[in-house]
Structure 1
Amino acid sequence: MRFLHPDGTTVHLGYCSNVHQAEDLRGVIAQLADHAEPVREHLGVDRLGIGLWLARGVVTELAADERALGRLKTELLARGLETVTLNAFPYAGFHREVVKKGVYDPDWADEARLQYTLDCARVLAALLPHDTALGSVSTLPLAWRTPWPRERAEAARRALDRLTTGLATLESWTGRRIRVGFEPEPGCVVETTTQAVRKLGGLDPDRLGICLDACHLAVQFEEPAAALHRLADAGLPVVKIQASCAVEARDPADPAARAALRRLAEPRFLHQTRTATAGGVQGVDDLPDALNGELPDDRGPWRVHFHAPLHTDPEPPLRSTADQLGQVLTELLGGPTADCHHIEVETYTWSVLPQPPADLAAGIAAELAWARDRLTGLGLKEDPA
């Protein structure tokens, strides 16, 4: 879906396809018919944005075979879908039985990560709608925090220089600008906006910036306005918003809250958990660690990196951080200028909910409707063209 900001900027809203299990081109094309088109029909719109996740093998095929790329473009157009952003955080295997820390491999010290990201940018430049010249690709925040010795940090910085050069060359060839956004995440080398300023400051703002995941921001107990001002002051643009909500237990010592949290402690994805204390934010790498006593439960709320559906709260007495997401949208899009052009609803956890929905397309459509209402409430107007 497209929206017009009062300043005339087009703002794109879509959902991320990493919720679907597809790691070859046939599977990607099938998910457009099986899931994305039904989401569009539930919403009753003629055009729906989809942020594609394309595993390494799919990107390799699309980058090398113009016929395969043309087939994907044709399928998108035929089903009323458009792509302005790719999620290039997971490299492959995002729906295997156990993902956990494997999602951070390869990291930005590895040549494979650079080449994958540049290939994603090339594919996206070809997939962009004919009337759109700006695309975005989101990626991991350099690496998981350990091990990260100086030589790997230096290798990553050199890779970012080469990434900038590659993106500039791509724009000169295609006339389309693709920007890459690094996504701060709890437990990583860059987990907060403060660390983003320190470790990513000085990058070319025309090519590189931040993918701001609202769930991650909330888990780290970052106040949205302060965080966004920090990034702006450092010249780090928000190239993409991942519209997502964390799970919060206001009283993690409550037996009912702990029982509900246990039902979220599933084996596939990593669910970093944090609490805010007088001494600062404390955390553990996964929810089972917190439930096993490694995180204080008597000093304040816990927030869990579990992407909760935007439009509904999790099992009581748990709640979501939808209010924080609303603040992010207000800060970036509620003022006189649009400070971000791409919004991607990224609830990839539907399949690991204690009670997965019977109709996934209806659930995703409800999330997008929630986001649409927030945008129109900020003065943006839906563009039906």
Structure 2
Amino acid sequence: MKTKYGHLTYCSNIHSGETWSDHFSQLKEHLPKIRKNLSPDSEMGLGLRLANAASIELMEPKTMEEFQSWLKEEGLYVFLINGFPYGDFHETKVKENVYKPDWATRERIDYTIRLFLILSKLLPVGMEGGVSTPPLSYQYFDSNKSTREDRVRLATENILEVLIWLIQIEKETGKTLHLDIEPEPDGILGNLGLWVHWFIDLFLPLAIPKIQNECGLSKEIAELTIRKHIRVCLDVCHSAVSFEENKTVLNLLQKNSIQVGRIQISSALKANFGEHPEKILDLLAGFDEPIYLHQVIAKKNESMMHSFPDLPEALASEVEFGEEWRIHFHVPVFLESYGLLSSTRKELIELLNLQKEFLITNALEVETYTWGVLPKELQMPVADSIVRELKWVLSILEPDHNTIG
């Protein structure tokens, strides 16, 4: 839905299924109810998650026409696609496989181009649209610096190939599409600082002369074109886990003229080890589930932090008095505390207020996808969960809850 501060939606990666029929049945079951509760008198946008198998099916003209007709009938539009998870994302062990295939592979290129071709057909006229994607790869796939550098080089070249497609799509359709690369702890681009370093020092020097030659552009126009199509996906859970200060993030973006393709509105799990550390560890153990990666960054003081690739490794470590843990577990944004545990909702509210002040992006996407693996006392029906999340965001963006059509 359109708000004063951008188009607000949720990401359909909350819904299970990997085929298009699975995806579509989930959308038909939940989206009309959600729109009726949130935007009954105006259209509502969707952040669409498409698995690889589903994307192949949706490229069929009849399947696409059926989906477009349904969207129109239900007053819905698609302006974002989640292209991070390629395959299974629910009810099976995902963990580090969420990064596979990574950007060093042909499969990732073809999948991402396919998503952009789909988005170019679904995107309303006059809107920009983005596809989110992994931060190149997972740092633990490589055992040494040399192989990681080779992976980064190949990934960078492959993203450049997609960039050329985006320029061509805009030339043919008039629609601006952007690749939203998403920093995540333990990704090769694990935080915004690493993202900016890669973009400024590696990607631009490779891309600018290529785009100049391919498109017959000046150096200045080539760089502007690149910056228009390659953007950052700012996931607030990820930045909070990395202890990135929101104002520092915003300053880094502004200083380097980095565009934000979308803000993914999400909260991380937080634990402060003062009193009752054993009870806190016991509570955290309830969040240790076998499907997703839950990277942990432990902060001992302003100059000392330690990271763990997953929650079990953190739980097995020795905890010091006063430590603060932030855990990559997308907990509900409308909840601030869970007894002795809490969330990074404070950091999320701060970023939403910065969005209101600076209009960082025009795309706001709630991305709480872990409902099925939350402790039972935090679970509720999917549609109700989504509505509650979005209403909470609206209460921060527009306290009167009004939207504009």
TM-score (norm 2): 0.88
Find the counterpart in structure 2 of residue 8 from structure 1. none
Matched, 1:142 2:136: yes
Check the 8 A contact 1:243/1:325 in 2, yes or no: yes
Find the counterpart in structure 2 of residue 170 from structure 1. 169
Secondary structure of the 2:55 match is helix
Secondary structure of the 2:379 match is coil
Matched, 1:28 2:23: yes
1:316 to 339, 343, 349: 339
Alpha-carbon shift at residue 102 of structure 1 (Å)? 0.4
Per-residue Cα deviation, 1:240-259 (whole angstroms, up to 9, x for no partner): 00000001011276232212
CA distance in 1, matches of 2:320, 2:369: 27
Alpha-carbon shift at residue 299 of structure 1 (Å)? 4.2
CA distance in 1, matches of 2:172, 2:342: 48
Per-residue Cα deviation, 1:251-302 (whole angstroms, up to 9, x for no partner): 2762322121111001110100111233332110111111111x64434210
Matched, 1:41 2:36: yes
Check the 8 A contact 2:272/2:322 in 1, yes or no: no
Secondary structure of the 1:334 match is helix
Matched, 1:4 2:13: no
Matched, 1:282 2:306: yes
- Residue 78 of structure 1 aligns to which amino acid in structure 2? E
Find the counterpart in structure 1 of residue 217 from structure 2. none
Alpha-carbon shift at residue 128 of structure 1 (Å)? 1.2
CA distance in 2, matches of 1:242, 1:321: 14
Check the 8 A contact 2:395/2:401 in 1, yes or no: no
Find the counterpart in structure 2 of residue 19 from structure 1. 14
For structure 2, list consecutive stretches of 5 or more residues without a partner in the other structure: 205-225
Deviates more, 1:228-237 or 1:210-219: 228-237
Secondary structure of the 1:282 match is strand
Secondary structure of the 2:369 match is coil
TM-score (norm 1): 0.92
- Residue 156 of structure 1 aligns to which amino acid in structure 2? A
Secondary structure of the 1:298 match is coil
Alpha-carbon shift at residue 149 of structure 1 (Å)? 2.2
2:388 to 354, 359, 366: 366
Matched, 1:263 2:286: yes
Secondary structure of the 1:51 match is strand
Q: Residues 228-307 of structure 1: matches in 2 within 5 Å?
A: 228-251=250-273, 254-278=277-301, 279-293=303-317, 296-307=319-330
2:71 to 49, 73, 76: 76
Give the fraction of aligned pairs with identical amino acids, expressed as a percent.
Answer: 32
Find the counterpart in structure 2 of residue 125 from structure 1. 120
CA distance in 1, matches of 2:282, 2:229: 45
Check the 8 A contact 1:14/1:49 in 2, yes or no: yes
Find the counterpart in structure 1 of residue 218 from structure 2. none
Per-residue Cα deviation, 1:31-64 (whole angstroms, up to 9, x for no partner): 122122222223353432221110101111222x
Secondary structure of the 2:156 match is helix
Check the 8 A contact 1:138/1:211 in 2, yes or no: yes
Alpha-carbon shift at residue 179 of structure 1 (Å)? 0.6
Secondary structure of the 1:21 match is coil
CA distance in 2, matches of 1:66, 1:258: 52
Structure whose CA Rg is larger: 2
Secondary structure of the 1:331 match is helix
Secondary structure of the 1:326 match is helix
Alpha carbons of 1:199 and 1:122: their partners in 2 closer, same or farther (altered >3 Å)?
same
Matched, 1:207 2:207: no
